[in-house]
Structure 1
């Protein structure tokens, strides 16, 4: 990954946080920024990069839900909700 792409990814995540009106010091926001920074480290293996991209996408989706006033459910919470709805 080139340096400009790395910088652009972190800047893009910061822009998303501003657009969503999310506190950049919140846990989810800090996690998104950390993942973006880790994606920019030289030598990130393709498999690790794919996993990090997946986590970044999931974290940004959770931030969007929080910004919309919805709970930031993770996969475990989602399973619990499905089970509760079936019961």
Structure 2
């Protein structure tokens, strides 16, 4: 399944709104927390396809909005927001 850059930008915007609405601007979260954490319940991010999420996160990293750092496994990948 391919995702257009426009669609990835839409997801990136959803992630930024999620971060701002939850006061997470200077927080660290794991990728799994974004996909299935308490804060994401009831949002478009809950249960998002991991590949789509990672593409949107990498897009935001490229724009300087966050940093992705490796954990001990792919489930531990961390995201440090700097919005």
Give the TM-score range, shorter chain.
Answer: 0.3 to 0.5
Q: Which has the higher strand share?
A: 2
Which structure has the bigger radius of gyration? 1
Q: TM-score, normalised by structure 2?
A: 0.36
Q: TM-score, normalised by structure 1?
A: 0.34
Q: Which has the higher helix share?
A: 1
